[in-house]
Structure 1
Amino acid sequence: MKILTISVAAYNVESTLEKTLSSFNDERIYNDLEVLIIDDGSQDSTSKIAKKYEMLAPQTFKYVAKKNGGHGSTINKGMKLATGKYFKVVDGDDWVDTENLVSFIQDLKKQNSDLVLTNHTEVYPDHSKNINLIKNIKPKKEYTWKDNIDIKRVVLHTLTVKTALLRENNVHITENCFYVDVEFVVWATYVSHTITYFDLYLYKYRLGEADQSVAKKNMLKNIEMQEKVSYQLVRMYDLFVKKQNMIQNQEETIFNTFKRSIGSTMRTYLLLSTKVAKEKIKSFDNNIKSISGVSYQRLDDDKFISLIRKNNYSMVPLIKGMYRIWVMKYGY
């Protein structure tokens, strides 16, 4: 049995996939690592690059071709095929620090926690930034959600989870849609009981490129997908609360993760004209309320969302102006 399966979401990533796969290519971990390259119907040379690595180290790299179904479908396929004790997703335009991956896998051999968290690095065209979302946790020590820990939020880049746990809970991610990584993260957080943190900057997250789905112009183009994921997260949170089995720390981490998706959708609307932005945000928010009063009320605890809602959304013009300045200065 492999220690770790990495599922690579690969769709038309010929310009970046070589860097991604080469970062896993180390003889020291061939026997412990499985890399599933899930080709989501690519029309470029993605398959050629993937098959090169499959021939190089067939005990580690496996090329999987499938019809196009979106990012979520690659995660679902990866969860189904994985043979590793642990499961991790890496996008085909990102990569990992190879030396830290080797250390990570050696540490994983000694672990049995449901959830294993690491740090990540945001890599921009002209600079990089190390991100640590974990506080009040000693590295390599196992905790439960009942312990006094501070996990600001969980993101795809920090997350590794037991494969069996995903299957036992029939985790399934929305297909034919962008931005579904938040669904995967929230599910993994919800089904987990024990947590271990490794103080490693493992994942290299590429940002600042115009072709990415998280680029502002693309987020606006794909706003309906953002809405779809937001509504699904609202349903999930409502379901989890009604089951009454979330521990406070766990609920807080899930809330901090899913509220960012809701807030991100609202911020995308702010890129529209003032009148349209206000109408869209109001309609979106009313839909949330109709889906789940529990989620709607909980979201009011977020300062940004609460401000947006203030006085029947009368603050939208001011917030839009401030956000425009922010985007011009920082680009996000």
Structure 2
Amino acid sequence: MKTLTISVAAYNVEETLDQTLKSFYDERILDDLEVLIVDDGSKDNTAKIAKKYVQKAPQTYKYVYKTNGGHGSTINKGMELATGKYFKVIDGDDWVDTDSLVEFINSLKKIDSDLVLTNHMECYPQQYKKINLVSGMENGKEYTWKDNINIEKVVLHSVTVKTKLLRENHVHITENSFYVDVEFVVWDAYVSHTIVYLDIYLYMYRLGEPNQSIAKVNMLKNIGMQEKISYELVKMYDQFVKNGDMLPRQEETIFHTFKRSIGSTMRTYLLLPTKIARKNIERFDKNIKSLSLVTYQRLNDDKFINLTRKGNYVLIPLLKVMYKIWVSKKYKY
């Protein structure tokens, strides 16, 4: 069995895929690592680049072609085919720090925790920013959700999970949609019992590119997908609550992770004209309430969502102005 499977979500990533795959290539870890390059129906040179690495190290790199089904479908295919003890998803426009990957895999060989958390770097065109979402955890020490730990949230860039837990819990990610990474990491937190934090800056997360799905102009274009995933997260949280098996700190981490997607959908609507923004936010929020009163009430603990709901949404014009100012400073259109 391989120590780690990395599932690479690859769709028309000819400009970045070589950097991604090269970052995994190190003679010290090739026998311990499986890289599944899941080509989601690309129409560029993604396949050509992928096959170059398959020829170079066939014991490590595997090329998998599938018809286009979205990011979630590549994760589902990766979970289906993975042979590694641990499973990690890396997007085809991101990469890893190679030396950190070697250290990471060597650490994975010595542990047996369900969930492994690492740091990551936000990589903007002009600067890199270190991100650490964990506090109260010693490097390499195993914890459970009962311990006094603080995991601010889980994100795709920080999580690695035991493959067998994903299969045993029949984890399936929504297909034909963007923004599904939150579904995957919420599942990772839910199915895990033991957690270890490794103080390694492993994942290099590319940001600041205008064609990314998280660019605000594209989020507005894809707002229907944001809504769709938000509703899926509402239903997931509702089911987890009904199952009655979440521990308090586990619930906190899951809540702080998925609430950001709900708030993000509302904030995207704030980019629309005021009347249209208010109408859509009210409709969206009422749909959440109809899907799960438990989730709707829990979301009141989020400051932004609570403020948005104040006085029957009367503060939306003010929030819209404030948000547009923030967006204009952070993003270039």
What TM-score results when the alignment is normalised by the length of structure 2?
0.99
Q: What is the aligned partner in structure 2 of residue 278 from structure 1?
A: 278
Matched residues in 2 for 1:330 and 1:31: separation? 42
Matched residues in 2 for 1:279 and 1:146: separation? 42
Aligned AA (1:92): G
After superposition, where does 1:1-12 map in structure 2 within 5 Å? 1-12=1-12
Q: What is the aligned partner in structure 2 of residue 229 from structure 1?
A: 229
> 2:110 is paired with a residue of what secondary structure?
coil
Q: What is the aligned partner in structure 2 of residue 131 from structure 1?
A: 131
> 2:25 is paired with a residue of what secondary structure?
coil
Aligned AA (1:199): D
> 1:330 Cα deviation (Å)?
1.8
Aligned AA (1:299): L
Could you list the per-position Cα deviations for residues 8-67 of structure 1 after superposition, in whole angstroms to 9, with x for gaps in the alignment?
A: 000000000000000001111000000000000000000000000000000000000000
> 1:116 Cα deviation (Å)?
0.2
Matched residues in 2 for 1:69 and 1:57: separation? 27
Q: How big is the alpha-carbon RMSD for the aligned residues of Structure 1 and Structure 2?
A: 0.6
After superposition, where does 1:125-274 map in structure 2 within 5 Å? 125-274=125-274
Matched residues, number? 332
Q: What is the aligned partner in structure 1 of residue 121 from structure 2?
A: 121
Aligned AA (1:193): H
Q: What is the aligned partner in structure 1 of residue 100 from structure 2?
A: 100
Q: What is the aligned partner in structure 2 of residue 29 from structure 1?
A: 29
Q: Verify: 1:69 aligned to 2:69, yes or no.
A: yes
Q: Which ranges of structure 1 fall in alignment gaps of 5 or more residues?
A: none
Aligned AA (2:286): N
Matched residues in 1 for 2:321 and 2:218: separation? 20
Matched residues in 1 for 2:289 and 2:276: separation? 20
> 2:93 is paired with a residue of what secondary structure?
coil
> 1:30 is paired with a residue of what secondary structure?
coil
Matched residues in 2 for 1:133 and 1:67: separation? 35
Q: Verify: 1:50 aligned to 2:43, yes or no.
A: no
> 1:90 is paired with a residue of what secondary structure?
strand
Aligned AA (1:310): K
> 1:85 is paired with a residue of what secondary structure?
strand
> 1:157 is paired with a residue of what secondary structure?
coil
Matched residues in 2 for 1:171 and 1:241: separation? 17
> 1:29 is paired with a residue of what secondary structure?
coil
Matched residues in 2 for 1:226 and 1:111: separation? 36
Could you list the per-position Cα deviations for residues 134-191 of structure 1 after superposition, in whole angstroms to 9, with x for gaps in the alignment?
A: 0000010000000000000000000000000000000000000000000000001000
> 1:331 Cα deviation (Å)?
2.1
Matched residues in 2 for 1:246 and 1:166: separation? 17
What TM-score results when the alignment is normalised by the length of structure 1?
0.99
> 2:172 is paired with a residue of what secondary structure?
coil
Q: What is the aligned partner in structure 2 of residue 20 from structure 1?
A: 20
Q: Which ranges of structure 2 fall in alignment gaps of 5 or more residues?
A: none
Matched residues in 1 for 2:112 and 2:39: separation? 30
Aligned AA (2:73): S
Q: What is the aligned partner in structure 2 of residue 313 from structure 1?
A: 313
Matched residues in 1 for 2:278 and 2:127: separation? 35
After superposition, where does 1:79-90 map in structure 2 within 5 Å? 79-90=79-90
> 1:213 is paired with a residue of what secondary structure?
coil
